[in-house]
Amino acid sequence: MTEQKYILENCKSFELKDIFDCGQCFRWNEEEDKSYTGVIKNGVLNVRKDKEKIIFEGVLDKNIKDVCESYFDLETNYEDIKEKLSNIDEYLKQSVEYGKGIRILKQDLWETIISFIISANNNIPRIKGIIERISKKYGNKIIYKDKEYYTFPDMHALGKASVQNLRDLGLGFRDKRVYDTTKMFLENEITLQELEEEKDVKLLREKLMSLPGVGEKVADCIMLFALKKFSVFPVDVWVRRVMNELYIKEEDETKVSKEFLQQLAKEKYKDLAGLAQQYLFYQRRNA
């Protein structure tokens, strides 16, 4: 664990607030100086902007430049993506403008699976609290600038938690789902590697949905936020709301089926549906 620094210049489409506050991640918090600090993998990272420079600092067990390039999806040209999406229609153009600094993070697969199982019928402040308590109890402590941080526990560490332990941390009815999913990985009924390597989105989705607590929506979020599958279109209450308001105008939005929304998204947004979803979600939820 060494303290490292990496400075990125001339990076377009990179706004801290947009990236960390658009609902894709749960472990980043804003500091008083407007920078953000988060725990990723086995380290702590702080990110700040100084004019056009983006400054990454932290303690990591791997090279900070490599970590950032992967985690912040720096190889992807978001200017191109935003251009394409903006040309689809005026609504999306506005959403893209609102969330112009968004990047889809490539987050740790294990942590993303558990985090989104916890997200089911839950709200973001509570989700963050639960993940924080899980990390504090079962993760490893890291000190960075005199503050304590806790890594998200790997499956072996989390496997030490009983259903009751999880209930005590406030997971509610999601306790058994997290417990059973962890058990499936520990017993090698499914492996992270086979999920990472599965190229076929449909098959990947099926494999993810074999996990307790992973339905369609959670599977899509995992694929989008950990496996860079930009074509999937997670349908939650917010996306259903905004899609209905923009294109369908049904009186009762809950009557609009998920299949219909996904078909519509596929027609309109094609292989960039996941990104479109994120811009729409972010604007509708915040504005």
Partner DNA sequence: ACCCAGGGTCGTC
Partner DNA sequence: GACGACCCTGGG
User: Which residue, chain included where needed, has tokens 């988060």?
Assistant: 38
**CB of 17: closest distance to DNA in angstroms?**
14
Q: Which CB sits closer to DNA, 57 or 132?
A: 132
Q: Shortest distance, CB of residue 218 to DNA, whole angstroms?
A: 3
Contact 231, 273 (CB under 8 A): yes
Helix (H) / strand (E) element for 5: namely strand 2-8
CA nearest neighbour of 122 among 225, 218, 229, 210: 218
Smallest gap from Cβ 252 to DNA, in A, equals 11
In the bound state with DNA, the residue whose beta carbon lies nearer, of 139 and 234, is 234
Give whichever of 55 and 260 is closer to DNA, judged by the CB atom: 260
Residue 170 CA to residue 162 CA, distance in Å, equals: 13
| SS3 state at 206 | helix
Q: Smallest distance from the beta carbon of 284 to DNA, in angstroms?
A: 10
According to DSSP, the β-strands at 147-150 and 141-144 are: antiparallel
Minimum Å gap between C-beta 57 and DNA is: 26
3-class SS at 14?
A: coil
Query: What is the C-alpha to C-alpha distance for residues 256 and 140, in angstroms, rounded to an integer?
Result: 44
> Contact at 8 Å (CB) between 230 and 73?
no
CB of 172 to DNA, least distance (A): 2
69 vs 216, beta carbon nearer DNA: 216
The residues of the shown chain that bind DNA, judged by CB under 7 A, are: 22-24, 119-127, 129, 167, 170-174, 177, 209, 211-219, 221, 234, 236-239, 257, 277-278, 281, 285
Is 50 exposed, middle or buried, given 0-12, 13-18 or 19+ CB atoms closer than 10 A?
exposed
Closest CB to DNA among residues 67, 222:
222
What residues contact 33, with CB distance under 8 A and at least 6 apart?
A: 48
Q: Which is nearer to DNA, 123 or 193 (CB)?
A: 123
Tokens of 261: 């929304």
